[in-house]
Amino acid sequence: MNLKIENNLIAGAKVELSSNSSDRNDKIDLIVLHCISLPEGEYNNNYPKDLFLNKLDFKKHPSFESLRDLRVSSHLLINRDGSLIQFVPFNKCAWHAGQSSFEGREDCNKFSIGIELEGTVKESFTDQQYAILNDIIGLLKREYPVKNIVGHSEIAEGRKKDPGPYFEWKRLND
């Protein structure tokens, strides 16, 4: 796929802008990979999107109640079928990392791009997800001085487990 960035957004991606973002002053040099499914292990619904847009109906599932006060987002969500949604322009901080640190720097939101994969730490990801993820990583490396690609578990050790043991790092064209 021939991706390009226009106005800090991936051209052709579906865009659903989240208010869960802030201004960015730091240089982007890190990509953080996550996974999400709501409820866990259930796919092909709008619940992750609704969470990032502060529209999640907490009555839809008992597990959603724990998310009530969260204000989170990611730059991108890659669905199981490889479709892409962008929630935050790259020139802004998405609120994906939470309390985090990488190589002695705190608050990874300031200098990273967060990419969510629709999935769970208990299952494999799809070929379509790896294909578009590789295209996105290539694009981001051309546009920004990205030095590292890490999992959420690496920057929030002990607090987060994603993208989990089923994420195949060797499938990245890094």
What does the pLDDT look like over 43-71, one tens digit per residue?
Answer: 999 999 999 999 999 999 999 999 999 99
Cα–Cα dist 34/149, whole Å: 11
CB 115 within 8 A of CB 30: no
Nearest to 158 by CA among 109, 115, 119, 101: 101
What is d(CA 50, CA 56) in angstroms, rounded to the nearest whole number?
5
| Cα 87 from chain centre | 9
Sign of CA dihedral 133, 134, 139, 144: positive
**What tens digit of pLDDT does each residue of 130-170 get?**
999 999 999 999 999 999 999 999 999 999 999 999 999 99
Options 40, 103, 116, 154, the catalytic residue: 116
- Spatial CA neighbour of 111 closest among 174, 8, 32: 32
Alpha-carbon torsion (115, 119, 122, 128), positive or negative: negative
Q: How many Cα atoms occupy the beta-carbon half-sphere of 163 within 13 Å?
A: 24
Tens-place pLDDT, residues 87-126:
999 999 999 999 999 999 999 999 999 999 999 999 999 9
Indicate if 116 belongs to the active site: yes
- pTM for the full predicted model: 0.98
